[in-house]
A = this chain, B = another copy of it.
């Protein structure tokens, strides 16, 4: 008796995957060099993919929609089991992870929004004087030059923004 993993090894050619996933062949080559997807070779040295590569590509695309870099996406994908084809639960876990990432991004954008909102009243967006722009007083100097708006408190400050400059 053969193992399932051996029975249903590679099936899809690079062209088929490209068409079904709606990406260029060159993109698949590229993802492979970056370790995001994997392929096996047939006798003539042509790539053959397992079907779950399609879902990996879906995850890659979804991650990109969320503004996540390929390196981070690779890390996320690396949490999938290597010993077997990922199942529903594996993918569901990944979805939840993406969602958390997304929540953070959204929260960040909302903070930016509050800032801009607070700054409309005074028509500012100035440098030193406006906490939206340069809130050193709040952020202070953190080890690796922490940035703007990664600190929720700033949103409040923006409400009291008065400009002293052009």
Contact = CB atoms under 8 A, between A and B. Distances in A.
A61 B135 CA distance: 14
B95 A123 contact: yes
B102 A113 contact: yes
By size class, the interface of chain A is 35 or more
A109 to B, nearest CB: 5
Chain A binding surface SS class: helix
Interface in A49-87: 51-52, 54-55, 57-59, 61-62, 65-67, 85-87
A125 B91 contact: yes
Q: Which 10 A-B pairs have the closest CB atoms?
A: A88-B123, A92-B123, A95-B120, A52-B166, A91-B123, A58-B133, A99-B116, A58-B125, A102-B113, A54-B127
Interface of A: 20-22, 51-52, 54-55, 57-59, 61-62, 65-67, 85-92, 94-96, 98-99, 102-103, 105-106, 109-110, 112-113, 116-117, 119-120, 122-128, 130, 132-134, 148-149, 163, 165-166
7 contacts: A51-B165, A54-B126, A55-B165, A58-B130, A58-B133, A65-B148, A106-B106
